[in-house]
Structure 1
Amino acid sequence: MKPADLTSIIIVLADSGPLTRECVERALASDRPVEVILVDNGSEDGTPEQLDRSYATDDRVRVVYNRANLGFGPAVNRGATHARGRLLLVLNPDCLVEPTTISRMAAHVGPHTGIVGALVQDADGHVDPASRRRDPLLGRVIATKLGRGSGGIDIGGPLPSGAEPVEIVSGAIILMPRGAFDTLGGFDETFFLHCEDMDLCRRARDMGYQVLLAGDVRVLHGKGGSSRHRPVFVSRHKHRSMYLWFRRHDPAAKNPLLRGMVWLGTWAHFLLKIPGQLLRKKRR
């Protein structure tokens, strides 16, 4: 099979929950040639090993074992080293694609396209606002908190019927030409978990690539297991990544006073959330 005809689907696992097998099955049912690269970040639920046995005779599936949790971005980058396709699809293990999903997303790839995202929705058909966002610049975040929607980070209004240039798409499913991925150096491995998609989209735009939302493609996004099993761990890395993104990309971070206030606010917010997270985990 020629690489030009192949899409490499990279799925990162980390105790990812019961939807993982269906995610893989649906990915393999695509109407275009695919390979599935499962990158395991030290799962303890046995899912990677089960999938490895199930697809042992299917050369379209490969399991890469990291034997430790390297973080989401680093795991995707390691998966990409095994990928042979001209297109890369980064897919969460709790996302369920349709046979035509990749073809419809790929139809929007042009010479200047760096990233194509899709509308991510829940089982009731509600679209996740994270499918289409703006950079979370400090001024915009403050505007959002004050109820000034026009300056906020979430984009309201009608959803597009085709491809629409946006600032950020959801990292739950992103399609990239291999050339763009390599030019960007893949994901920034400084981000262990969360905000790596925002960083990737920002760097793509800064390098002249288009970030597109395929408004004609909807993908069911379930609820994975990683966040529920380790809520404080996930929250800690999320807050760290939020501050890291601010330091890297927000002009307001050049002001030492603002930078210090954002640092204090970020970690105070993290500490305040811990009791509730532990209580919810205990109730489960």
Structure 2
Amino acid sequence: MLKFASREVGDVEETWRRFVPSAALQKVDPRTFGFSWTSAALSGFSLVSYRLSASVQSAIEPDGQMMACRVASRGAWVGTPRGDLNAGLPWLALDGPTSARWRQQADVRAFVFDRAEAEDDARRMTGDDRFSLRSATVGSSPVDRDFATHWERVFQHVASTLFAGVPTSAIVEAELRRHALHTTLAAFSPAFMTALERSTQRTAAPRTVRRAIAYMEQHAHEAITIDDVALAADISPRGLQYAFRRALDQTPMEYLRTQRLAGAHAELQVATGASVAEIAQRWGFASASRFARHYRDAYGRSPRQTMRGH
């Protein structure tokens, strides 16, 4: 995580370019300039949040990236060569330049994805190997206000976890990245949602569920997502959801959570020297309180009670 404040104009461009190399400040009023930055970088994914006090015009043209952004400011303007965007909503930059300007102060927040990795993940989510991230499938504006509002909520959730200053496990990071990407594509790509619906498989042989279960039991301690499980079971994520509901009356992620709770339970039963929070993180639970609630539901006692009993 990177966090700092500055009153130097050059710091803004230098920092932004670590995440989006094309970022540029074109017009800045230095008299009121102030800059407060927080960011977190994972593999193939970055989360950026900053406050910029100044009248500014800026531009980006992502190369090999996809960026979803929201500029919260009175009188803000956002536009592309194809036309103006609604500055009161999140927007997405993929192909071609996007410019923004505002006066006095803006709160800027953004998800930045490696384009190739995001495309691979989108194909796993949809089960469509031909799905591609391009202007024909991903728009600059959100599908509607409900999706825009949901994107904002998910940003706050991911930011609150990654900016908390608490180390996160690879499992948690993989889930957060997938959540951010799924939400972004759902908000900006009708084609993505259509592909998800099209990939739903209404019949699934029991062996598909057995393959998924075997994979989860073997890899529960790793940073796997439902996309990885579906790939191992040779079925789409939507099809896997349906198959699990039909066969086990639960979702694949509920089953995976059970396996991870079992792994955490085994660790709590031996004196490893690790704290409850550390064990929870290791098994993919970002929130210790949520882990404790799931653990009590499964084992009828708190994690600390289990730890103290051994």
Q: Which TM-score tier does this pair reach, normalised by the shorter chain?
A: 0.3 to 0.5
TM-score scaled by structure 2? 0.30
TM-score scaled by structure 1? 0.32
Q: Highest relative contact order (Cα 8 Å, sep 6+), 1 or 2?
A: 1
Larger radius of gyration: 2
